[in-house]
Structure 1
Amino acid sequence: MTNDKRNVERASKLDTATLSDALDKLGIAGQCHRIKARSTDFRLAGRAWTLKYGPASNPPGTVGDYIDDVPPGAIVVLDNAGRVDATVWGDILTEIAHRRGLGGTVINGVCRDVALCLKLGYPVFSRDHWMRTGKDRVQVEATNIPVNIGEARVQPGDILRGDADGVIVIPREHEDAVLDTAETIQHAEDAIREACRGGTRLDEARQQFKYHQLQTRGK
């Protein structure tokens, strides 16, 4: 297994809360503010394939026929500047993405046709969902460039991890450090739980495993 795949697998075993704490400890901004799963059952982990939208020109450009270019397992990351008045993802894209084995979709904006992603179990994360089309309102500006998702920067190839609490971006240049730190935090929290199950007081267990320093930068 390549290191690229190994790190995606490592990320998939960690929840976003633990990864968020690791990012805080390392001073890295990677929490996607207000980006939520359309179902609390949705989970995703994979590398980013990015697309940036802008307001439509006159005559308008296309909203995008890019889906067949996205490699299996990748996360489609769509930056629509946080707009909630025009969608950039719907049922046709969901069906094709699901059939092609993509890892999920993350949108700095809104989607529609939520019923199908729920039926198929295809994970979509966005600011919200609404029915009004983006056609003639937005257009593709560029693909596979750095984008912004919920105030976090995402570059092509970065790891994204999503669950019921939201979405985390792990920058490629820091992924080993973030994953190492998150695993250390997870081991400490597991040890605290196990100690408490054995009768140890919570405050004592937290002190023993340095709980209050786990997320503090530089400690």
Structure 2
Amino acid sequence: MMTAPDPHVARLRKLDACAVSDTLDKLGLAGCVTGLRSASPGRRIAGRVHTVKLKAGNAPADRPPVHLGAAAIDASGPDDVIVVEQRTGIDAGCWGGILSRGAQHKGVAGVICEGLARDVDEAREIGFPVFCRGYTARTARNRVYEDATDVPVTVGDFTVEPGFYVICDSSAAVFIAPADIARVLDAAEDIVRREGEMTRRLATGESASAVLGANYEYMLKGDD
């Protein structure tokens, strides 16, 4: 059965990470994670989070074989983003080309890796957005394994829960708890509206000092 589109995701897709990060600052919320690389600069993704947590070594012998990321792909659809934690320090990919293709077939918006990704050229070639800490050719086999799907994971210094919202572009990944999404969207849309008006005024020839000034500096401090 198809799940109805999430209206919050539709609104989030129209924003960018900087506007949402500014909104978190205004509301006193955490959730902005910087330093990720985009395998396809210029791409932006937004959606609800499914998580994958990896650990070092091989899976316990009494567990059935599991390919990392497969369960998250099976659980995901067009309003979803997969977030993988691979913080072991081991040089091993936590996402690869077949996973990118499988996720793309499900309509998944993209993947965010707190760790290294591989088959990056393949992801770029098929147009599947991958954000990660870096690149590698080393397989996960005999190096890391999937410990669990849809459990809390850590990205940067922020704990991401399954079901959180996220927007990610070349500037940052910004995570939002479901309890906060409505007010974050309202405030972010207002920031975008104000910035759009500033852009319009600059285009008419007004000076940057006149357009920006207090308008920009005080934009996050109140509703004026």
TM-score normalised by L of structure 2 = 0.87
Q: What is the match of residue 45 of structure 1?
A: 46
2:27 is aligned to 26
Aligned partners of 1:30 and 1:170 also within 8 Å: yes
Mapped contact 1:146–1:153 kept (Cα < 8 A): yes
Q: What's 1:87 paired with?
A: 93
1:110 aligns with 2:116: yes
Runs of 5+ in structure 1 lacking a partner? Answer: none
* Cα 1:83–1:9 shift into 2, 3 Å: farther
1:211 aligns to what?
A: 216
Alignment check: 8 A CA contact 2:24 2:30 kept: yes
- Percent identity of the aligned residues? 30
Find runs of 4+ consecutive structure 1 residues off by over 6 angstroms: none
Alpha-carbon separation, structure 2, partners of 1:67 and 1:30: 22
Matches within 5 A, 1:1-219: 5-57=6-58, 62-64=66-68, 65-73=70-78, 74-81=80-87, 83=89, 85-207=91-213, 210-216=215-221
Does the 8 A contact of 2:59 with 2:145 survive in 1?
A: no
After TM superposition, give the deviation of residue 66 of structure 1 in Å: 1.7
Cα deviation, 1:163-186, whole Å, max 9, x if unaligned, reads 222321122111111111111111
Number of residue pairs aligned between Structure 1 and Structure 2? 217
Q: Secondary structure at the match of 1:47?
A: strand
Determine if contact 2:153/2:159 at 8 Å carries over to the other structure: yes
Asked whether the equivalents of residues 56 and 90 of structure 2 are also in contact (C-alpha less than 8 Å), the reply is no
With the length of structure 1 as denominator, give the TM-score of the two structures.
0.89
Q: 1:24 to 1:66 in 2, by over 3 A?
A: same
Pick closer, same or farther for the CA change 1:133–1:172 going to 2, 3 Å: same
Distance 2:90 2:190 in 1: 38
Is the 8 Å Cα contact of residues 82 and 108 (structure 1) preserved in structure 2?
no
1:52-77 deviations in whole A, cap 9, x for unaligned?
11122575775524255222121111
Give the unaligned 5+ runs of structure 2. none
3-state secondary structure, aligned to 1:134? coil
Deviation at 1:13, TM superposition (A): 0.6
Structure 1 pair 82/167, CA: closer, same or farther in 2 (3 Å)? Answer: farther
Query: Whole-Å Cα distance in 2 between the matches of residues 146 and 192 of structure 1?
Result: 39
Letter in 2 for 1:182: A
Higher strand share goes to which structure?
1
Q: Is the 8 A contact 2:45 2:168 kept in 1?
A: yes
User: What is the Cα-based RMSD across aligned positions, in Å?
Assistant: 2.4
- Any idea what SS the aligned residue of 2:174 has? strand
Give the 3-state SS of the residue equivalent to 1:199 in structure 2: coil
Moved more, 37-46 or 122-131: 37-46
**Aligned-partner SS, 1:175:** helix
Q: Is the 8 A contact 1:42 1:121 kept in 2?
A: no
